[in-house]
Amino acid sequence: MTDSLHPVPGALPRPARRTLLGAALGGAVATGLPQLTGPAAAASWQQRWAPSARTDKLAAFETIEDDRADSHPSASPHIFTEGDNYRFTMHLVDRDTSTDRQRHEVTGMRDPAGGPYLRWKQGESWRVTYAMYIPSTLRATTTFTHIMQMKQPGTGSAPIIVQSLRRVGGAQTIELKIAEQDILVGRTPLAPLHDAWVDVDFQLTIGNGTSGTVRWILRKGGTTLIDARKTGVDTFLADRVRPKWGIYRSLGDTSDSLRDCHMLLTNMRGYQLI
């Protein structure tokens, strides 16, 4: 496929270098990390997940939610790999099982690919890093457009944390929120992310009540776009936390921002603090 939504692999720019990603973390931001003291000083981020889009394909993930309502079978698959990238393609005609929204997402992390999935449990600290390409066709909206979620697995469970593209005062932004408590972790303009590779570093301590912690870093080249952190927050519902990536958006946007679009992810890594 070689139309505008399915370019020849390699047609979009790849990250020129991994300035964010130190060798010790296989792609994670090394600068400005919180320093551990006392008994915790011996703990370190241990890599638990390092899928290759080229070789592992979608077997890297726990589940694939690709056009669950079978609304646009002629365009399937909507989630696939292009070289080293995971690609999520969304068309205006796509519909989820709830027809007021659209969803093409992957969930969880399998290590090794196709093997058991990793379980994020209460009291644990986890971290994911990856590079993200958001074209200018994937715009912020007045209603929800989520591109990463942390959820409790199960039908109907509410999101715990969402990374979203949101219109604020008419301006396009990208933000991270603790969803259930409606706590904003951080927000920054979306324009610098459009049509460029941006590195994401997301860190989570899973805690009930006030024992959770979240840190969210976005960098483009050598520039930090945002480095935000919240402590003393609730980051757990029940059972376990499971990450999700993709495009999940409402059709209720009032800013005329919905377009055929896509998103690319690459160099995905997962770590546990041990």
In tens, the pLDDT along 220-241 reads 999 999 999 999 999 999 999 9
Identify whether the C-beta of residue 214 lies closer than 8 Å to the C-beta of residue 233.
yes
Torsion of CA 152, 228, 140, 222, to 10 degrees: -120
- Determine what percent of the chain is predicted with pLDDT higher than 70: 85
In this predicted structure, which of 23-37, 181-195, 204-218 has the lowest mean pLDDT? 23-37
- Give 154's pLDDT tier (boundaries 50, 70, 90): confident
Instruction: Write down the mean pLDDT value for the chain.
Output: 88
Handedness of CA 156, 203, 29, 188 (dihedral sign): positive
- Residue extents of the structural domains in the chain: 39-273
Q: Give tens-digit pLDDT for 173-193.
A: 999 999 989 999 999 999 999
| CATH number attached to the domain at 39-273 | 2.60.120.200
pLDDT at 38 exceeding the cut of 60 = no
Return the pLDDT at 31: 36
DSSP 38: G
Q: Would you say how long the chain is, in residues?
A: 274
- Give 139's pLDDT tier (boundaries 50, 70, 90): very high
Q: Give tens-digit pLDDT for 252-265.
A: 999 999 999 999 99
- Give 244's pLDDT tier (boundaries 50, 70, 90): very high
- Give 42's pLDDT tier (boundaries 50, 70, 90): low
Determine the average pLDDT of the residues in 9-33.
Answer: 39
- Neighbour count for residue 92 (Cβ, 10 Å): 12
Identify whether the C-beta of residue 246 lies closer than 8 Å to the C-beta of residue 104.
yes
Burial code (b: 16+ CB inside 10 Å, e: under 16) for 20-57 equals bbeeebbbbbeeebeeeeeeeeeeebebebbbebeebe
CA separation for the pair 146, 131 (Å, rounded): 16
Return the pLDDT at 142: 98
